[in-house]
Amino acid sequence: MAPAGAPLDRVFHALADPARRSMLERLSRGPASVSELAQPLSMSLPAVVQHLAVLEESGLVRSQKVGRVRTCQIEAGGMQRAEQWINERRLAWERRLDRLGGYLDAQAEKEGES
C-alpha cells in the first residue's frame, strides 16, 4: 500500500523538472504530439518519452496513441492535489500572520499609552 502522500509527491516530482514544466506549458495551449513536445527541447525522443511517462504517472498529462502518433494533453484535474495542498498551507500562514499582526498592533498601542 502506497503512503497517503504518494500521489502528491508524484505531482511535485513531476513539476520539479524544467523540461517537464516546459512540456506542461506547451500542453496548456492544447494537445500536442510527442515530436511536437520534443522539438524545442535539447534531448532525445526517448528522453522526452521518459519525461512524459513521469507526467502521466503523476496524473498531470494523459496521452492517446492513434496509429503511429501519440498525442498528449493536460489532465484537467491533475494539478488539483498540489493546488489544494498549497492553498491549505497558504491559508494557515495567512491566519498566523494575521494573529502576529494583531499582536504587534496591540503591543504598539500599549507602548503608545506608556
Task: List residues bridging with 32 in a β-sheet.
Answer: 72
pLDDT of residue 2: 44
Cβ neighbours of residue 45 under 8 Å, at least 6 residues apart?
34, 35, 38
Q: What is the pTM of this model?
A: 0.77
Q: Decide if 1 is inside a domain.
A: no
Cβ neighbours of residue 32 under 8 Å, at least 6 residues apart?
26, 71, 72, 73
Q: Decide if 12 is inside a domain.
A: yes
pLDDT of residue 59: 94
Domain containing residue 114: 79-114
CA distance 16 to 10: 10
Check whether residue 13 and residue 62 sit in a common domain.
yes
Query: Total structural domains in the chain?
Result: 2
Check whether residue 18 and residue 68 sit in a common domain.
yes
pLDDT of residue 113: 79
